[in-house]
Amino acid sequence: MSRDIATFAGGCFWCMVKPFDEQPGIESVVSGYTGGHVENPTYQQVCSETTGHLEAVQISFDSDIYPYEKLVETYFTLIDPTDSGGQFFDRGESYTTAIFYHNEEQKAIAEDFKARLDQSGQFNQPIAVKILPAKTFYPAEEYHQHYYKKNPLHYERYSIGSGRAAFIEKHWGNRDE
């Protein structure tokens, strides 16, 4: 077994867990904060936009079953990759997008996918996702972990109400089929 770590920021971390959690080879998906300058930040601190952290998910996975390339592809289908100011109705630095690479191979894969998507013409604006070296990842408070399981109705309303579900359907099609 080849256990690896991937870290992605894609706006509200609630919406980033379920699509990864349901894939084969994914061992865990943890909601948290990364990229900032404050140790052990709280949700309230991160939301205040003073810590430099982004809401993110850290994924432990078996790359023999679900390779990093597939994680990156899945990640891009969960976000608006052209929005540099946040995601959907969540605005501000803590909701911006980034791929935090853990080694040079991850960096190369992320940069290649981003470049190909940018050149594909699928979006009429440049791809704004940052590709950054991984920093310390702080797990979020327990009530944020696997929110889609703990609060399924609120999670569904949030996904639809934020505009994320409609955007994904428009740009990537119905991925449940």
Rounded Cα distance, 160 and 167, in Å: 10
Q: Which two tokens stand for residue 46?
A: 């991160």
Q: What percent of the chain has pLDDT over 70?
A: 97
DSSP helix/strand/coil, 12: coil
**Does the annotation mark 47 as catalytic?**
no
Measured distance CA(37)–CA(34) in Å, rounded? 9
Q: How many domains does the chain have?
A: 1
Q: Is residue 177 part of a domain?
A: no
Whether residue 42 has pLDDT greater than 50: yes
Percent of the chain with pLDDT over 90: 82
The 3-state DSSP class for residue 17 equals helix
Task: Please indicate, yes or no, if residue 57 is contained in any of the structural domains.
Answer: yes
pTM of the model: 0.93
Please report whether residue 17 resides in a domain. yes
**Segments forming the whole domain that contains residue 163:** 3-172
Evaluate whether 102 touches 6 at the Cβ level (below 8 Å).
yes
**CATH value at residue 43:** 3.30.1060.10
Instruction: Indicate which residue of 4, 10, 11, 12 is catalytic.
Output: 12
* Cβ(56)–Cβ(100) below 8 Å: yes
Whole-angstrom distance, CA of residue 98 vs CA of residue 55: 10
pLDDT tens, residue by residue, 123-175:
999 999 999 999 999 999 999 999 999 999 999 998 888 988 899 899 887 65
Q: Do the bridges between strand 97-101 and strand 130-133 make them parallel or antiparallel, or are there none, so unpaired?
A: parallel
Domain membership of residue 22 (yes or no) is yes
pLDDT in tens, 55-88: 999 999 999 999 999 999 999 999 999 999 999 9
User: Encoding tokens for residue 6?
Assistant: 């991937």
| Helices H / strands E in the chain, number of each | 7, 8
Residue 149's identity, in one-letter code, is K
Predicted confidence at residue 172, as pLDDT, reads: 84
Taken as a whole, the chain contains a residue count of 177
49 within domain boundaries: yes
Report how far residue 12's alpha carbon sits from residue 159's, in angstroms, rounded to the nearest whole number. 10
Give a yes or no: residue 127 inside a domain.
yes
Note whether residue 155 is domain-resident.
yes
For residue 177, the model assigns a pLDDT of 41
Q: Mean pLDDT over residues 8-22, rounded? A: 94
